[in-house]
Amino acid sequence: MNVKREKLTTLSFFLSPMAVMVVLFYLVPLIMTVYISFTRMRNWNVSKYLTEFVGFYNYHRLLYMFQHDPTFKAVLLTTVVFVGITLIINVFGGLALALATFFIEDKPASAFRLLWLLPRMSPIAVYSLVWYYFFHGSEIGTLNSILMKLGVISQPIPWGQIVPWGAWSIIIFVNGLVGVSFGMIVFTSALNQIPKELVIAARVDGASSWQISRRILIPMIRWHLLYVLTWQFLSLLTTYPHLFLLVQWDLVNGDYGTTLALYVFNTAFGMGEQDQGLAAAAAVLLSVIGIIGGFVTLKVLKFERMMKRPRGDF
Amino acid sequence: MIEMVRIILDSITKKFDDFIALRNISLKIEDKEFMALLGPSGSGKSTLLYTIAGIYKPTGGRIYFGDRDITDIPPKDRNVGLVFQNWALYPHMKVFDNIAFPLELRKVPRQEITVKVREVARMLHIEDLLDRYPWQLSGGQQQRVAIARALVKEPDVLLLDEPLSNLDALLRIEVRAELKRLQKELGITAIYVTHDQAEALAMADRIAVIREGKILQVGTPDDVYYRPKYRFVGGFLGNPPMNFVDAEVDAENGYLNVYGSRIPVPAQYRELVEKLGIKEVLLGFRPHDAEVLREKREGLAGEVYSFEPLGREQIVTVSVDGAFVKVFAPEGEHFSFGEKVTVELREDRIVLFDKKTEKALEFLV
């Protein structure tokens, strides 16, 4: 009895810092968001609206907007396209880079990988500015000026204002470039864990680099693939800084450059009328999608199998 | 497997940046021969094996399989089977798929693959394991799977890189005998890299002793064991290894002075010592080529430093005026610490080395 208690004390001692963090920065905001989504909270007028319950009013509004508001429909469609395509680029781009650098010599490989880390290392504003000028709709835009010099086009094209695919292409491109490095790093370290004899054995048996990748390397790093897929899915679902700047600077179309995450931010903290109740409801929707997505990877793709039960004797 | 596969290495050199891993290695491996590359770790023996497999390209020299110059041919076209120390089985594939993989790469029809995999599995007694994953097998079983995978494509040459060192001692001795038999039954040319001198002696037709990227000696187990070309070879082979003691040559009277003891110059060296006019030599003898005697006789006089009974025999360490030599003595003989004894050497087995080059005298001329 006493021993058990002692264990409990030790356990809570070691777990408490993490528990405090989770409660303070995850559980409390989550509860607050859910709570606010049931109020008429707007313009941060806490004293007036905090206790004004409206039931599922905000959720009904979301549903109504989903049915009738073309702007909100565009936001949802943009979210699906953006998350879907950027996810594929992030995961498979990262995989392709990791595999490509796996088969070349160490020195050029690490230089090449460093290059791909640059977007991740540069501040968001600086990085976004680079692409702002690149895709700019006037003749000062790099892309436009190149194409005009080459004689492909005679008038500058406002790329980001072509809806939907012009705007989508830019936000997918800009975020995709940031995201590949994450997958690349994870996959590279996973590939380096594979004993080199496996690759040598396959080579001697006549396997090409492609066959080695497909038959040996990729199956052996499938857990990492799954991990990066889940991680990138969740982070793409909730990311908005690059999108915010690109829309704010009017590089891309507001409707087709805005994902649900950015919509939540704009609705709660944006210019003009702020509607925290509606934003909270949309945020809850976003969380539910994230939780379902996470759950699907956990259960359906058998993510839990890679989690080994601890073998400590206590 | 029908054609003759003789391997010829013609002055192979391999450099990694500034590091010279192989220095001018020339070696001929006969058809169906079992050749061991024996050396301490870092000697370059694995590098040599990988160069033969085609994974490393030699910096200089040529490699021939039969009459074919394969120096610039990629590994997959050399038709070699490779077995690794860590076996390198694909963990996500079942045993069947592991063995079938080389055939799949060759686009062999599925039916033929099944037949061939079953055949090689039967040969290695693993036909019951085909449906398991590598992690469900014991070390010895994984080892067999690795050999099966190397053999299934009927290679011209079987290359083995310390395939037994991950097994425990008892199993190693068992597999050793089996592997030797398998190689002879298949009649396949095999090159076997090992740092374990007992393995090399037990299995190989010939042994190439390698140190620091150079071949010191090539010969039958008997050759390298009893007629070492260098002091290093004598010291590397045998357990316990060869004993070495300093000796001064008294050519006039035909004696060797060894720490105050006098023994005649061995008959096989008399002419040579005279011809070379050598003054100082290193005398080498195997622990079983000597006897520890209590009575005073012609030999090395010393006292018992320690003794280690090993069941069938015992190792007696004798201090000869401060230099230690190890000698096998029969069981049942009882020694005590500090006892005065004489170590009598079997004359025809004595090897004399030049002190400077550490080369056996017969190889000096």
CA A152, CA A149: separation in Å to the nearest integer?
A: 8
pLDDT digits (tens, 9 = 90+) for B21-73: 999 999 999 999 999 999 999 899 999 999 999 999 999 999 999 888 999 99
Q: Are B211 and B237 in contact (CB under 8 A)?
A: no
Q: Do A202 and B101 touch (CB under 8 A)?
A: yes
- Determine the residue of chain B that is closest to A210 in CA distance: B105
Would B85 be classed as within a structural domain? yes
- Determine the residue of chain A that is closest to B150 in CA distance: A205
| Whether B202 and B293 share a structural domain | no
- All residues at 6 or more sequence positions from A310 whose CB lies less than 8 Å from its CB, including other chains: none
| Whether B208 and B331 share a structural domain | no
| Whether B114 and B27 share a structural domain | yes
Full domain range(s) for residue B147: 7-236
From the list A198, A203, A216, the residue facing B75 with the nearest CB is A203
Alpha helical stretches, state H, B152-230:
169-186, 197-203, 221-226
CA A3, CA A73: separation in Å to the nearest integer?
A: 59
Which chain A residues have a beta carbon less than 8 Å from that of B153? 205
> Is the bond leading into A17 cis (omega within 30 degrees of zero)?
no
CA B76, CA A204: separation in Å to the nearest integer?
A: 5
Angle B194-B195-B199 (CA atoms, 0-180°, nearest 5)?
A: 60
CATH code for the part of the protein at A75-261+279-305 = 1.10.3720.10
CA B34, CA B136: separation in Å to the nearest integer?
A: 31
From the list B78, B88, B106, the residue facing A197 with the nearest CB is B88
- Determine the residue of chain A that is closest to B80 in CA distance: A204
The whole-model pTM stands at 0.81
Find the CATH number of the domain harbouring B119: 3.40.50.300
pLDDT digits (tens, 9 = 90+) for A75-117: 999 999 999 999 999 999 999 999 999 998 888 888 888 888 8
Q: Do A211 and B105 touch (CB under 8 A)?
A: yes
| Whether B43 and B170 share a structural domain | yes
| Whether B192 and B97 share a structural domain | yes
Q: Closest Cα of chain B to A219: distance in Å?
A: 7
Indicate the residue type of B169: A
Q: Closest Cα of chain B to A109: distance in Å?
A: 18
CA B100, CA B105: separation in Å to the nearest integer?
A: 9
pLDDT band at A137 (very low <50, low <70, confident <90, very high): confident
pLDDT band at A304 (very low <50, low <70, confident <90, very high): low
| Whether B76 and B194 share a structural domain | yes
Q: Closest Cα of chain A to B92: distance in Å?
A: 7
| Whether B69 and B159 share a structural domain | yes
CA B139, CA B147: separation in Å to the nearest integer?
A: 12
The pLDDT of residue A157: 87
Q: Closest Cα of chain B to A205: distance in Å?
A: 5
Residue A212: half-sphere exposure toward Cβ, Cα within 13 Å: 20
Which chain B residues have a beta carbon less than 8 Å from that of A218? none
Would B1 be classed as within a structural domain? no
The pLDDT of residue A303: 63
The pLDDT of residue A226: 86
Q: Do A206 and B102 touch (CB under 8 A)?
A: yes
Residue B116 pLDDT > 90: yes
Beta bridge mates, B11: none
Helix pair angle (A276-299, A57-68), 10° resolution: 80
* Percent above pLDDT 70 for chain B: 99
Q: Which residues on chain B place their C-beta less than 8 Å from a C-beta of chain A?
A: 50, 53-55, 75-78, 80-82, 84, 86, 88, 90-92, 101-102, 105-106, 149, 153
From the list B55, B86, B106, the residue facing A203 with the nearest CB is B55
pLDDT digits (tens, 9 = 90+) for B131-168: 999 999 998 899 999 999 999 999 999 999 999 888 88
pLDDT band at A306 (very low <50, low <70, confident <90, very high): low
Q: Are B97 and B103 in contact (CB under 8 A)?
A: no
SS3 for B364? coil
Mean pLDDT, residues B284-306 taken together: 92
| Whether B81 and B199 share a structural domain | yes
Would B347 be classed as within a structural domain? yes
| Whether B87 and B112 share a structural domain | yes
Which chain A residues have a beta carbon less than 8 Å from that of B70? none
Which chain B residues have a beta carbon less than 8 Å from that of A203? 55, 75-76
Angle A128-A131-A132 (CA atoms, 0-180°, nearest 5)?
A: 80
Q: Do A200 and B82 touch (CB under 8 A)?
A: yes
Which chain A residues have a beta carbon less than 8 Å from that of B102? 205-206
- Determine the residue of chain A that is closest to B51 in CA distance: A204
- Determine the residue of chain B that is closest to A207 in CA distance: B105
Best A103, A200, A204, A226 residue to mutate vs chain B (most B CBs within 10 Å):
A204
| Whether B299 and B255 share a structural domain | yes
In whole numbers, what is the pLDDT of chain A averaged over residues?
A: 88
Indicate the residue type of B101: F
The pLDDT of residue A307: 61
Q: Closest Cα of chain B to A247: distance in Å?
A: 46
CB pairs < 8 Å spanning A and B: 51
A300 exposure class (CB count in 10 Å sphere: 0-12, 13-18, 19+): exposed
| Whether B183 and B266 share a structural domain | no
- Tokens of residue B244, six digits: 């070495």
Find the CATH number of the domain harbouring B270: 2.40.50.140
Mean pLDDT, residues A50-77 taken together: 90
Mean pLDDT, residues B252-275 taken together: 89
Q: Do B86 and A203 touch (CB under 8 A)?
A: no
Residue B1 pLDDT > 60: no
pLDDT band at A310 (very low <50, low <70, confident <90, very high): low
CA B324, CA A94: separation in Å to the nearest integer?
A: 63
Q: Closest Cα of chain A to B79: distance in Å?
A: 8
- Determine the residue of chain B that is closest to A196 in CA distance: B88
Domain boundary among B236, B267, B295: B236
Q: Do B101 and A205 touch (CB under 8 A)?
A: yes
- Determine the residue of chain B that is closest to A206 in CA distance: B76
Mean pLDDT, residues B299-309 taken together: 92
Q: Which residues on chain A place their C-beta less than 8 Å from a C-beta of chain B?
A: 195, 197-198, 200-207, 211, 215-216, 219-220
Which chain B residues have a beta carbon less than 8 Å from that of A198? 88, 90
Would B194 be classed as within a structural domain? yes
Pairing of strands B214-219, B243-250: unpaired
Indicate the residue type of A260: L
Q: Do A207 and B105 touch (CB under 8 A)?
A: yes
The pLDDT of residue A311: 54
Q: Closest Cα of chain B to A209: distance in Å?
A: 12
Edge-to-edge strands, sheet with B34-38: B80-83, B157-161, B189-194, B34-38, B206-211, B214-219
Number of domains in chain B: 2
B58 exposure class (CB count in 10 Å sphere: 0-12, 13-18, 19+): buried
Which chain A residues have a beta carbon less than 8 Å from that of B86? 195, 197
* Percent above pLDDT 90 for chain B: 74
Q: Are A86 and A172 in contact (CB under 8 A)?
A: yes
| Whether B186 and B60 share a structural domain | yes
Residue B239 pLDDT > 80: yes
Domain boundary among B175, B207, B236: B236
